[in-house]
Structure 1
């Protein structure tokens, strides 16, 4: 059954952007939204995560858990998802947390 899928990208190759726009709309640059089957979603994510290079991507889609969704990431990002007793929270990288603490 198709489900709403959101994919955010940063600095991905043009061919990846082209592949994504075949299946999803791009309401703002780098943000893709679509109603996809799990099979299509997983295949698109395989393509995106396999050719991320210096870029980054975040995939959010429905999942049977307490939050009702799951978060997957590829590439280097400032924020990272962390599982805390079954809930996905977003944390800053430890080195950036230390920099922020030193500033404050």
Structure 2
């Protein structure tokens, strides 16, 4: 899945994968092809973000990697990879309120 990806990356992904929804690509490939696709995403993502998930012999049955800024991030809990949310960015701009 990609968000805010440049059109050239989306076009490149469409060569290998089916885009089932905007930014959501699916396909069944082995490790080598998956890693090659992910390497291209990492080079071409620019300011966007992406996640790749695949079937794996883990407790959850899958593994995943992320790149780019996103509030969701992988977190390891005793060998089980889950997703946690980063806190929202804190604004340092003055609010205009006087005390």
TM-score range, shorter chain: 0.7 to 0.9
Structure-2-length-normalised TM-score: 0.84
The number of equivalent residue pairs is 91
Match of 1:70?
A: 63
- 1:96 paired residue among 84, 88, 92: 88
- Gaps of at least 5 residues in structure 1 are 1-7, 99-104
Deviations 1:58-83 (A, max 9, x none): 11101121111101000001111101
- Gaps of at least 5 residues in structure 2 are 91-99
Structure-1-length-normalised TM-score: 0.80
- 1:48 and 2:50 correspond: no
Q: Which has the higher strand share?
A: 1
Q: Which has the higher helix share?
A: 1
Over alpha carbons, which structure has the higher Rg? 2
Structure-2 separation of matches of 1:97 and 1:86: 28
